[in-house]
Structure 1
Amino acid sequence: MILLVLSALTLAMAAGASMAWADEPAVTACSLPEGWTEIARRQPRYVVFGELHGTQQSPAFIGNLACALASRKQRVLVAIEQNARDNAVLQDAWRLPTARFGQALRLVGWNGRKDGIASEAMFGMVVHLHALKTTGLPIDIVAFNSDSAQEKHFPHLAGQGAHEAAQAENIHGATIRGRYDQVLVLVGNIHARRARHGEGAGSFDFMAARLAALGRVVTLNTRYAAGTAWNCLAKPGVTFTPGHPPPSDAIECGNHSVTSNSDLKRAPFIGLGAFPGEEPDTRYDGFFWLGPISGSPPLLPGE
């Protein structure tokens, strides 16, 4: 166990307390989760963590892992599912001192978003990582989610293939610009799938599969015990017209109950292969277990 300087926000998040970011860092500890050694033996270029958006536990898990790796002198890049068009502003903020970082970060992709990608816990993780960086630990960050302009570079790809390809391109581009020992990608678990979606002309590869063509990938699906997650879901009975955006009143964002068939009653850990008691899931190389989950609301409520 290695004592490190982390942000006060991270301490609040780990305790499940109400979120309130602070400029002054506090002292806490981080350690490698059980199972990481097996991941490291594979020497992956990218480790993709497919999460359920809107929990406190998933960003805390990645923040702890990045902390532990960087403490061992490994240069770490953490890739987050914020829009790549905001990445230049994020990099400018990343160079700021601790006292100015939190306010600058609020301008990068959080304002007005109601989903779990813009949660208090995600914000806390990034503040945490920046606090570690200011102490001298080798941690960088990149926003990699694609937008419609970038997706036009892939007109030959069907369905959401262009979106997936653009995500992979952004992560790979950031990777080759730095000399990283570990690249940790936190993304919705659909994008973390290895398996090709669909058949024939309408099929496409998810982001993790696109990354696998650029470097060795280990991709992990989130698993958890029952709890809650802050996300945006279709209201019961609502129907959608293919090819058209959903009506504004058809989506409900909030802290929703999440069920689970399992409770391992274990601390968070990583496992390769099948989840205990289940058949192998060929879409992923393994899983990361979070235990009971709790929802994290948006940092800045939408208008």
Structure 2
Amino acid sequence: MNTIAVIGAGTMGNGIAHVFAQNGLKVNLIDIAQDSLDKGIATITKNLDRMLSKERISEDDKQSTLSNINTFTELKSGVAKTDLVVEAATENLDIKLSIFKELDELCDSETILATNTSSISITQIGAVTNRPEKVIGMHFMNPVPIMKLVEIIRGYSTSDEITNTIMELSKKLGKTPTEVNDYPGFVANRILMPMLNEAIETLYNGVAGVNEIDTVMKLGMAHPMGPLQLADFIGLDVCLSILNVMYDGFKNPKYAPCPLLVNMVMAGKLGVKSGEGFYDYSESRKAEKVAPQFN
């Protein structure tokens, strides 16, 4: 495998591109907005500089990583002659189905199509293509350059060969791939999101305040970040979207999003990305204290 296309230059997309490029693979980073691509490359450069300052990489490593990345605003040219496409667009079913229909038409017949979705059915995505056996979930954790886990989700039709190929590729990236089955939320978010939702319910019901809830979980359960801080970091809109996918998929009330979460998203209070969630990020120092740093 030589050339990878990554669709989406946002938080997850630029992190995925970073990891592939740092491990010697050529990466075509694709986004419809040039501004997003510029910001993505700036983020990758900043993260490489942080690693360089901590002597985790050399200047040659940094330059080699950056030289492995090319940017594209046009999908057709970005995915041409690639071995693998990793979609990291917005966590929205209609958007993903549209992208995969187009990818199926544009990509070579042997190209593997992967999605970084954190909750949406791989089987449903694969069904809109003529190659469902080559469609797979490759769910990286955020921040991608730091976190070791990759959830590998095989849809109903995903072949053993493709699954094994992606498992081995993930290991070459220095990750720990873990195979899971295709059910809403998979493993990570099926367990994590109800916990975050329960923390929001605890706040909504007036049991304790934001700092108190996070302090109990950090000091009492040894969590590195409180659940309300983590929800802010993930994005409250993303949390709501994942909970809705699980609620729709299982029809179980335990996955129903808390009304407070729904209202905050409607009000545009999305966490770190919007400058305000359960915490106030209007001052840069406050945001820095919440966001994980590269070690």
TM over 0.5: no
Indicate the structure with greater helix content.
2
The normalised TM-score by structure 1 is 0.27
The normalised TM-score by structure 2 is 0.27
Q: Which has the higher contact order (CA 8 A, sep 6+)?
A: 1
